[in-house]
Amino acid sequence: MARDEPLCNSKVAVVWRLVVHVRTISYESSGLALRGTIAVPDGTGPFPGVLIGHEGPGLDDLQRARAADLAALGYVGMALDYHGEHAPFSDREQMMSRLDNLSGHPDEARALGRAALEVLSGEPGVDASRVAAIGYCFGATIALELARDGAPLRAVVGFHPGLRTIRPQNANNITGRVLMFVGADDPIVPPEHRLEFEREMRDGGVDWQLIVYGGVQHSFTHPLASRAGVPGIAYDERAASDSWQTMTGLLAAVL
């Protein structure tokens, strides 16, 4: 059962001169109490919906703001939560252990994605036949696993995504277009992962595209990426801007 809560004691934000209604919503999956953020354009709709999967450390203000950014473009944006009580993590090893567990148990990852999709699709004013999922880092893995599970997504978009899966044969369940953005110098998504992903997409008969940015590292969309102090993780303004614009073009075309 989903439950609404005001976000920052206010249900309305002005974004790009448009009125966007933002709130926190509580829901459950895989035994976890989860808290996502929903942003809805002003008006009655029906609006297309877009799920947003956060980066590995957890749902933060940047991903919540992206829900509002998408609402300003005419979509209902939902920043989902796939960690719940596990986050915030006290150290990187704990985070990686959580992500490794989800990678090894795709049914749990898919259930987390399905739960968020049900919340978004059940939102008043959302056209459940026009839904996409985007994700950052492991959030893209969640989006991809949701698509591999046959969810009715018109598009799946990943930024510096985790591409690997233990069930590549499920790619034939993907019904929408797939668009991934990767940095050529990303040590977390090396060339061999990209090759595996290309093979998976071809074997599954998927309509897919993978864009590689030269000289770009992991987490290139996050302005505070370098604060992590981890080699191979850095913000890149050009790649962040280009990937966002390319994504919005795809969403406009399919939604």
Q: Any idea how long the chain is?
A: 255
Angle between helices 92-104 and 106-121 (to 10 degrees): 90
* CATH superfamily name and code, 3-254: Alpha/Beta hydrolase fold, catalytic domain (3.40.50.1820)
- pTM over 0.85? The answer is yes
Q: What DSSP string describes 102-131?
A: HHH-HHHHHHHHHHHHHHHHTSTTEEEEEE
Structural domain spans, the chain = 3-254
- Tell me the per-residue pLDDT of 40-73, one tens digit each, with 9 for 90 and over: 999 888 999 999 999 999 999 999 999 999 999 9
- Tell me the per-residue pLDDT of 200-230, one tens digit each, with 9 for 90 and over: 999 999 999 999 999 999 999 999 998 888 8
Which parts of the chain register pLDDT below 50? 6-17
